Amino acid sequence: MNIALIGYRCSGKTAVGEILGNELEMDFLDTDALIEEMACCSLEALISRKGWDYFRTMEKELVSNLSKRGNLVIATGGGVVMEEGNVQNLKKNSWIVWLKGRPEVLKARMSWDQRAGRGRPSLTGIDPREEIEQVLRIRNPLYAQAGDLIVDTSDLSIREAAASVITSLSNKSFRK
What is the SS3 string spanning 78-114? CCHHHCHHHHHHHHHHEEEEEEECCHHHHHHHHHHHH
Exposed / middle / buried, residue 168 (Cβ in 10 Å: 0-12, 13-18, 19+): middle
| Predicted local distance difference test score (pLDDT) of residue 126 | 67
Give tens-digit pLDDT for 154-166.
999 999 999 999 9
pLDDT of residue 123: 56
Give the list of residues 6+ apart from residue 43 with CB closer than 8 angstroms, or none.
Answer: 32, 35, 36, 55, 120, 121
Q: Which residue has the higher pLDDT, 34 or 176?
A: 34
Q: Among 108-122, 135-149, 154-168, whose mean pLDDT is lowest?
A: 108-122
pLDDT computed for residue 175 by the predictor: 41
pTM for the complete prediction? 0.90
- Mean pLDDT calculated for residue range 144-160: 96
pLDDT of residue 125: 64
* Percent of the chain that is helix, strand, coil (3-state, to 5): 60, 15, 30
pLDDT band at residue 174 under the 50/70/90 scheme:
very low
Does residue 173 carry a pLDDT above 50?
Answer: no
Give the helix/strand (H/E) hosting 131.
Answer: helix 128-146
**What pLDDT is attached to residue 170?**
85
The 10s digit of each residue's pLDDT in 2-61 is 999 999 989 999 999 999 999 999 999 999 999 999 999 998 899 989 999 999 999 999
Domain 2-165 has CATH 1.10.10.10: no
Q: In the chain, what are the domain boundaries?
A: 2-165
How many Cα atoms within 13 Å fall on the side-chain side of residue 151?
A: 28
Strand ranges in the chain using DSSP code E only, listed in sequence order = 2-6, 27-30, 72-75, 94-100, 149-152
